[in-house]
Structure 1
Amino acid sequence: MKPSRSEFITVRGLRSHVRQWGREGAPKIFMVHGWMDVAASFQFVVDCLEGDWHVIAPDWRGFGLSERSASDTYWFPDYVADLEFILDHYAPGGQINLLGHSMGGNVVSLYAGVRPERIRRLVNLEGFGMPVSNPSQAPRRYAKWLDALREPTELRSYPSLEAVAARLQKTNPRLSDARAEFLSRHWSAPNADGRWEILGDPAHKRPTPLLYQVEEVLACWDAITAPVLWVEADDTNMWQWMGPKEQARVEIDRRLAHLASVTPKMMADAGHMLHHDQPEALAAMLEDFLAE
Structure 2
Amino acid sequence: MSQTASPAPMYAPVFPARSEHHSVRGLRYHFLVWGDLARATDAQPLLLMVHGWMDTAASFQFMVDALRAQPGWAERPIVALDWRGFGQTETPPATDSYFFADYLGDLDAILDQLSPGRPVDLLGHSMGGNVVMLYAGVRSERIRKLVNLEGFGMPATQPGDAPQRYIKWLDEIHKPVRLKDYDSLDAVAKRLQTTNPLLRAEFAQWLAQHWAREENGRWVINADPAHKRPQPFLYRVEEVNAFLSRIACPVLFVEGAQTLYFMFFDGKFSREEFLQRVALVPDFRLETIDQAAHMLHHDQPEALAAHLAGFLTT
* Alignment TM-score, normalising by the size of structure 1: 0.97
Please give the secondary structure, in 1, of the residue aligned with 2:270: helix
Residues 1-292 of structure 1 correspond to what in structure 2 (within 5 A)?
1=13, 2-24=15-37, 25-26=39-40, 27=44, 28-49=46-67, 50=70, 51=73, 52-70=75-93, 71-191=95-215, 193-244=216-267, 248-292=270-314
Matched position secondary structure for 2:32: strand
Partner Cα distance (2:201, 2:256) in 1 = 21
- Is 1:131–1:241's contact at 8 Å kept on the other side of the alignment? no
SS at match of 1:145: helix
Aligned residues: 290
For the 8 Å contact 1:145–1:206, the answer to whether it is kept is yes
Identity of aligned residues (%): 54
- In structure 2, the residue corresponding to 1:196 is in which secondary structure? strand
Retained in 2: the 8 A contact 1:80–1:111?
A: yes
Task: For 1:15, give the aligned amino acid.
Answer: R
Partners of 1:19 and 1:214 lie apart in 2 by: 33
Residues in 2 aligned to 1:249 and 1:165: alpha-carbon distance in whole angstroms: 31
Shift of 1:69: 1.9
Please state whether the residue corresponding to 1:157 is helix, strand or coil.
Answer: coil
Matches of 1:250 and 1:59, distance apart in 2: 32
Structure 1 or 2, whichever has the larger Rg, is 2
5+ residue gaps, structure 1: none
1:115 match: secondary structure? helix
Cα 1:62–1:149, aligned 2, differ >3 Å: closer, same or farther? Answer: same
- Stretches of structure 2 that go unaligned for 5 or more consecutive residues are 1-12
Separation in 2, partners of 1:82, 1:232: 26
Separation (CA, whole Å) in 2 of partners of 1:263 and 1:254: 13
Please state how far the C-alpha of 1:243 moved relative to its aligned partner: 4.0
For residues 169 and 40 of structure 1, what CA distance do their matches in structure 2 show?
A: 16
What's the Cα RMSD here? 1.2
- Partner secondary structure for residue 68 of structure 1: coil
Q: Give the Cα separation in 2 of the matches to 1:113 and 1:185.
A: 36
Residue deviations 1:93-122 (CA, integer Å, cap 9, x gap): 121100000000000011111101111000
TM-score normalised over the length of structure 2: 0.90
Q: Which runs of 4+ in 1 moved over 4 A?
A: none
Residue 215 of structure 1 and its aligned partner are, at CA, apart by: 1.4
- Name the aligned partner's letter for residue 36 of structure 1: M
